[in-house]
Amino acid sequence: SQKIEQNSEALNIQEGKTATLTCNYTNYSPAYLQWYRQDPGRGPVFLLLIRENEKEKRKERLKVTFDTTLKQSLFHITASQPADSATYLCALERGSTLGRLYFGRGTQLTVWP
């Protein structure tokens, strides 16, 4: 069965440091990989999308890498701020079922001053 694993349930880092979140998958051949932010009691908010033929994508302080050989994506937040504290979700979209996203359980990031 398909599996999407995010490296840890919780990650705590100090303000100003770079947060790195990991998403590993098995039994997938994803065409697209997406990252979302979710605050408590709210719906997820789309952050970045990366295609299988792309190695890296950036948006402001965010960077996503995609390694289809390792079956892994890394999500980086540089110069982290307490306002970045949230749960971050990894989601995959397979080429055979385009339009349908399959989510990991998320990593709860806490940035302390």
| Binding residues vs other proteins (CB under 8 A) | 4, 31-32, 34, 36, 41-49, 89, 91, 93, 98-106
Smallest distance from other proteins to CB 74, Å: 18
- Closer residue to other proteins, CB minimum distance, 10 or 79: 10
How far apart (Å, rounded) are the C-alpha atoms in residues 32 and 30?
Answer: 5
- Closer residue to other proteins, CB minimum distance, 19 or 47: 47
CA atoms within 13 A on the CB side of 58: 3
Smallest distance from other proteins to CB 80, Å: 22
Residue 11 has which token pair? 């990650």
| φ, ψ at 29 (rounded to 5°) | -130, 75
How far apart (Å, rounded) are the C-alpha atoms in residues 104 and 43?
Answer: 15
Written as one letter, the residue type at 33 is L
- Closer residue to other proteins, CB minimum distance, 84 or 93: 93
